[in-house]
Amino acid sequence: MTSQVTDLLVVSPHPDDAEFGMAGTVAKYYMEGKTVVYVIVTGGEKGSEDKQMTPEKLKSARRLEQLAAAKILGVKTVEFLGFIDGSLEDNYELRLAITRQIRRYKPLAVATTDPYRRYLLHRDHRITGLVVAEAVYPFARNRPAFPELIEEDLESHTVKEMLFWGSEDPNYYVDITDSFNRKIDALKCHSSQLGSHNEKNLELWLRQRAQEMASGQNYPLAEAFHRVIIDH
């Protein structure tokens, strides 16, 4: 078990979600000498419309894609929780699994997808965001919450802040001008998910999004989050 504090723990519902949501920020952490750990909740085995693709084959492919993307971004540790794609539930098992990773890696900050986007949102995204928030507060810091974690010598841990990507209510912006190319390179690793997007169109679309997020800032490209400071 690790005892070293991690700067950022990123919890992603599927392989590739973190790259779309915050790869520029992750790369910036690495470029600044900070540590980032990835936690991938599901195997992403249902992320294909190809009739010839099997869930087992896709899960294996997406695992390799995620590891390749993480390497480009400087993420040395990737935890795969192995929950079934499309079948997440807000239950004890998931809360325990995510709280375990928070106590194990002791992050200063935790990032995940925003569960409060209205109307259309993948169920795995909504549940992941909700459970991660609840794992940060109160479960990770409440020592008796999971007796089995105490038996694993995983003591309570207090996270300092949370970042939610994909938010309809952003209040925090990160300059990714110098790390944007790494974001593109990382996303190119997820070839099973790019579909009809060729590399040129992907980069154009993401650059436009980053420019929109940087609107009003004094830099050209940004990623936007809803940031929550935990001061109690």
CA distances to 9, 77, 125, 144, 215 from 80, rounded to whole Å, are 13, 10, 16, 25, 35
Q: Give me the tens of pLDDT residue by residue for the chain, a chain 232 residues long.
A: 555 799 999 999 999 999 999 999 999 999 999 999 999 999 999 988 888 889 999 999 999 999 999 999 999 999 999 999 999 999 999 999 999 999 999 999 999 999 999 999 999 999 999 999 999 999 999 999 999 999 999 999 999 999 999 999 999 999 999 999 999 999 999 999 886 556 678 899 999 999 999 999 999 999 999 999 998 7
Would you state the structure tokens that stand for residue 34, as one six-digit string? 């900070």
Distance CA 106, CA 127 (A): 22
Residue 165: predicted pLDDT: 98
Residue 123: predicted pLDDT: 96
Distance CA 123, CA 138 (A): 23
Domains in the chain, ordered, with CATH?
6-229 (3.40.50.10320)
| pTM assigned to the model | 0.95
Three-state secondary structure call for residue 171 = coil
Q: Report the run of H or E that residue 212 belongs to, with start and end.
A: helix 199-213
Contact 75, 29 (CB under 8 A): no
The order of strands in the sheet holding 6-12 is 77-83, 36-42, 6-12, 107-113, 161-165, 222-229, 172-175
Residue 196: predicted pLDDT: 55
